[in-house]
Amino acid sequence: MVQINTVCLQFLQFNKILFPCYFKSLLILYAFLIIVFIGCQPGEIDSLPPGDPDNGGLLLPDDFEAVVVADSLGPARHLIVNDNGDIYVKLRRDLENGSIVALRDTSNDGRADIIEQFGVHNTRGGFETGIEIRDGYLYFSTNLYVFRYPLTPGELIPDTTRRDTILIDDHEHGSHEHVAKPISFDDDGYMYIPYGAPSDVCQESNRTPGSPGLDPCPELDKHGGIWRFYADKKYQVQEESRTGSDKTKPVGTLYATGIRSVVAMDWNPVDGELYVVQHGRDHLHRMWPNMFSPWDNAMLPAEEFMRVTEGSDFGWPYCYYDQLLDKRVLGPEYGGDGEIAGRCTEFDDPVIGFPGHYAPNDLQFYQGDQFPEYYKNGAFIAFHGSTIRNPYPQAGYFLAFVPYENGQFSKDWDVFANGFSVVDPIVSTSDAHHRPMGLAVGPDGTLYIADSVDGKIWRVMFKGDRDRFGKQHLARMEQEKRTANNIRTPDEIEDDLQRDEPVAGESIYQTYCASCHQRDGTGVDGRFPPITAPQWISGRPEPLISVILNGLDSPRYDIPMPNHEFLNDEQVAEVVTYIRQHFGDEEDSVTEEEVRAFRNP
């Protein structure tokens, strides 16, 4: 375009000399041509930086490009972009220099050349996730708080000496499950915060095979839903003080219930409603092996894209959504068999049910004009990637897009970006080089993506003709949806990674252990510990026997390990032997008698 513009200017200068009488008319004609054809001025594409030759490793629809803004920032969660293009990234851990990274690109080459770190240091780490900008403030969350700092126009770092505490989660957190606090604001001065369930499905004994569900579930009083608070009041709590000694703090309002765990959430300005994408329950096969197969466990239940209105109830823990049956069904802890709906017909259904365990961790509605019209008002969803699809390849680890057509969201969703994991198939979660986590749209309408493994940040831009965008641009992404192991529906036989006859103890490990600790024993950072450490695989077997029978709750990991005392002595001996011999160098088998002596001293 710059070359075309130069030719146009030379043409005008030439005619000004030869035809001075008609020069004014030529100027008018030139302006007209600019408006109609936009051929003689640098377009907005010229102002965008070039994409990386390999698009930062991403596969995108045709005519899209990506540039890596920054790399190796640390374990990034959510991010937000200010009106001037400054980027703020919330890290998972409260590191020495702070838990927020600020990025600025002063050379307009798409890469951050100023990177600074700041933020709060006073609360437990793990799932810090939310970050938003509203009315000149940078809001951000940790596990137990929502804070804000005032932003100063032109300054990259906010005034950290003026920190406001907006929300305090004052529950006693015996469990570390589902404490993430994403943040969304509506147009009327309210803030929305999920309080995730402190268990999987509200069982009498959490994550214990065969344990019935509590009915009614007492957790729903304070968890498993979304609460509404004021956006600008300080020291808000979920409810009045349980001691009754402090009635001065403003309290929240229960907005919607029956929602197990939410990390992906956004306010939709088109219909003025809140939307979330829920993490579905875990371990159908592990908890009920006689009712659900490993394939059922990999595919179910759905990750639900929900339209949340005031008073919504989506049925957790009593029900889950089966996207294969296209209906909500009764959970086995409450008398279900995988098919009957029972009382679940009384609860709200999702907009879309995505396949199980994709792990939705951000939701972003697109209101920009940089992308083609096809993307206007649609929803991008970052699927962080599964940990518990064993014995099938892990799934997720990509960006989906849900088009908005004729006043509603399409049931047919697209793959927008893939390639984050680098490896295919993903056998264990730790195999993935990157995992898409946070999403944000910049002031120019380009899309930013954060990675939770190393802290890579991508900026995605459209460089084609918006008016000519069509299905041909999406063809290779449709192919990706059908063939990529992290997206497609696995074949029940051919994709079973343990279809060969397992050795003694391996089938027990794959059923009860691998979903958390992974097939290779490496665990999942911050959630499930590795079992390849010497204390588990070397020396005396009693420490490992004790953990299997009694469970373990470590402050270093977010989800406690339940006891497995339901396994008989022979099964415990077999799985301990398998772990020690498969992941270590120990050759001695553990006997049934050794387990019995430990269980009954």
pLDDT at 126: 58
pLDDT of 171 > 90? The answer is: no
CA 442 to each of CA 60, 83, 282, 371: distance values in angstroms, whole numbers, following the listed order: 18, 7, 35, 12
CA 119 – CA 117 distance, rounded (Å): 7
Q: How many domains does the chain have?
A: 3
Least confident interval from 109-123, 193-207, 377-391? 109-123
- What is the number of other CB atoms lying within 10 angstroms of the CB of residue 444? 15
Same domain, 562 and 456: no
Residue 501 inside a domain? The answer is no
Same domain, 15 and 103: no
pLDDT at 600: 83
Mean pLDDT of 273-286: 96
Percent of all residues in the chain with a pLDDT value above 70, rounded to a whole number: 88
Same domain, 7 and 91: no
| Cβ neighbours for 590, distance < 8 A, ≥ 6 positions apart | 541, 545, 573, 576, 577, 580
Residue 37 inside a domain? The answer is yes
Residue 335 inside a domain? The answer is yes
Nearest Cα to 350, choosing from 276, 414, 288? 276
Least confident interval from 399-403, 483-487, 579-583? 579-583
Full 3-state SS string of 48-64: CCCCCCCHHHCECCCCE
E strands present in 25-175? 64-70, 76-81, 87-95, 98-104, 114-118, 131-134, 137-141, 145-150, 164-168
Reported as a single tens digit per residue, the pLDDT across 249-269 is 889 999 999 999 999 999 999
Residue 362 · residue 264 · CB < 8 Å: yes
pLDDT of 595 > 70? The answer is: yes
pLDDT of 367 > 80? The answer is: yes
pLDDT at 561: 80
Q: Which residue has the higher pLDDT, 20 or 418?
A: 418
| Cβ neighbours for 44, distance < 8 A, ≥ 6 positions apart | 370, 444
- Tell me the DSSP string of 461-485: EE-S-GGG--HHHHHHHHHHHHH-T
CA 195 – CA 225 distance, rounded (Å): 6
Same domain, 289 and 152: yes
The pTM (predicted TM-score) of the whole model is 0.84
Mean pLDDT of 228-247: 80
Q: Find the CATH number of the domain harbouring 313.
A: 2.120.10.30
pLDDT at 33: 42
Nearest Cα to 389, choosing from 306, 508, 485? 485
pLDDT of 34 > 80? The answer is: no
pLDDT at 492: 96
- State the pLDDT confidence band at 466, using cuts at 50, 70 and 90: very high
Task: Find tokens 């490496």 and name the residue.
Answer: 522
Q: Which residue has the higher pLDDT, 294 or 30?
A: 294
For all residues of the chain together, what is the average pLDDT?
A: 88
Q: Which residue has the higher pLDDT, 37 or 244?
A: 244
| DSSP category for residue 218 | G
pLDDT at 25: 52
Q: Find the CATH number of the domain harbouring 574.
A: 1.10.760.10
Mean pLDDT of 104-133: 86
pLDDT at 558: 67
Same domain, 238 and 281: yes
Paired sense of beta strands 114-118 and 98-104, if any? antiparallel
Residue 252 inside a domain? The answer is yes
pLDDT of 361 > 80? The answer is: yes
pLDDT of 585 > 70? The answer is: no
Same domain, 479 and 526: no
Residue 363 · residue 388 · CB < 8 Å: no
Least confident interval from 355-364, 368-377, 506-515? 506-515
Q: Tokens for 218?
A: 């007492």
pLDDT at 9: 41
Same domain, 515 and 476: no
pLDDT of 37 > 50? The answer is: no
Q: Which residue has the higher pLDDT, 581 or 327?
A: 327
Residue 47 inside a domain? The answer is no
Mean pLDDT of 560-589: 78
Mean pLDDT of 12-21: 46
Tell me whether the omega of the peptide bond preceding residue 150 falls within 30 degrees of 0, making it cis.
no
Tell me whether the omega of the peptide bond preceding residue 372 falls within 30 degrees of 0, making it cis.
no
CA 233 – CA 167 distance, rounded (Å): 9
> Among the ranges 227-241, 299-313, 522-536, which has the highest mean pLDDT value?
299-313
Residue 535 inside a domain? The answer is yes
Helix (H, G, I), strand (E, B) or coil at 597: helix
pLDDT at 32: 43
Same domain, 441 and 330: yes
Same domain, 435 and 567: no
Q: 299-337 in b/e burial notation, b at 16+ Cβ within 10 A? A: bbbbbbbbbbeeebebbbbbbbbbbeeeebbbbbbbebe
Least confident interval from 225-234, 238-247, 303-312, 555-564? 238-247
Same domain, 445 and 528: no
Choosing from 442, 468, 483, the residue where a domain stops is: 483
Give φ, ψ of 242 to 5 degrees.
Answer: -70, -15
pLDDT at 390: 87
pLDDT at 541: 81
pLDDT at 576: 82
Q: Which residue has the higher pLDDT, 273 or 589?
A: 273
Residue 489 inside a domain? The answer is no
Give φ, ψ of 467 to 5 degrees.
Answer: -70, -20
pLDDT of 232 > 90? The answer is: yes
Paired sense of beta strands 184-185 and 164-168, if any? unpaired
Domain extent, residue 6, equals 2-42
Least confident interval from 109-113, 173-177, 372-376, 464-468? 173-177
Same domain, 162 and 275: yes
The sheet that has 436-441: what strands, in order across it?
64-70, 457-462, 447-451, 436-441
Same domain, 32 and 104: no
pLDDT at 107: 95
- State the pLDDT confidence band at 125, using cuts at 50, 70 and 90: low
Residue 270 inside a domain? The answer is yes
